């Protein structure tokens, strides 16, 4: 239940900044990007119409983008066009967030992304932080497995006899 509360709080923070589903759809259509596709680089590193992650270099008119958003989300055109009034600009190389201290950049990058373990959140972790979290996850999983084996008694069959660190050296 705690994880759900954390995720709800993060989603509320993103919504408070003005991010909406309509705005995200608008961003995908205007940049001509497939949402669920392996990319050359992160979406917030988007450059311009010549970016390699675009499906087409052809620019779409706002009316065409609005028509596509309306078709996908089954909404009226006025609501789709209102994205210009309230939605923050999408991140790109020309619209970066303010720099933060170098140590914190090793841990976090603030952008629109989808980390593998938390979906649709505003904060994602850098590769170094992802590596550290993966190691922490594996260590925690290994410890839980050991605790379950101790609690169950038998351990599900043959047990390996392990030596303590002092005995090994």
Across all residues in the chain, what is the average pLDDT? 66
3-class DSSP state of 167: helix
For residues 13-31, give the mean pLDDT. 77
Scanning the chain, the segments in alpha helix (DSSP H) are 2-16, 21-31, 62-73, 77-81, 83-86, 102-107, 127-152, 165-168
For residues 134-149, give the mean pLDDT. 74
Neighbour count for residue 71 (Cβ, 10 Å): 10
Give the DSSP per-residue string, 128-155: HHHHHHHHHHHHHHHHHHHHHHHHHSS-
DSSP 17: T
Task: Select from 84, 113, 117 the least CA-distant residue to 97.
Answer: 113
Q: To the nearest whole percent, how much of the chain has pLDDT over 90? A: 0
Owner of token pair 């909404």 = 75
For residues 131-152, give the mean pLDDT. 73
pLDDT category, 11, cuts 50, 70, 90?
Answer: confident
Which whole-number Å values give the CA distances from 78 to 60, 69, 119, in the listed order?
18, 11, 29
- 24-38, 69-83, 123-137, range with the lowest pLDDT: 123-137
Domain segments of the chain as ranges: 1-96, 98-154
Q: Are 133 and 108 in contact (CB under 8 A)?
A: no
pLDDT category, 149, cuts 50, 70, 90?
Answer: confident
């Amino acid at each position: 239940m705690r994880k759900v509360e954390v995720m709800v709080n993060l989603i509320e923070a993103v919504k408070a900044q003005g991010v909406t589903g309509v705005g995200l759809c608008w961003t995908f259509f205007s940049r001509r990007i497939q949402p669920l596709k392996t990319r050359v680089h992160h979406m917030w590193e988007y450059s311009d119409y010549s970016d390699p992650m675009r499906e087409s270099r052809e620019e779409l008119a706002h009316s065409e983008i609005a028509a596509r958003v309306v078709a996908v989300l089954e909404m009226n055109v006025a609501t789709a066009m209102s994205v210009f009034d309230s939605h923050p600009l999408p991140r790109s190389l020309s619209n970066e967030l303010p720099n933060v201290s170098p140590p914190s950049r090793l841990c976090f990058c603030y952008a629109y992304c989808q980390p593998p373990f938390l979906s649709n959140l505003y904060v994602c972790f850098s590769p170094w932080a992802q590596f550290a979290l993966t190691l922490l996850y594996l260590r925690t999983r290994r410890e839980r497995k050991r605790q379950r084996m101790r609690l169950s008694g038998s351990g599900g069959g043959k047990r390996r006899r392990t030596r303590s660190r002092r005995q090994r050296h």
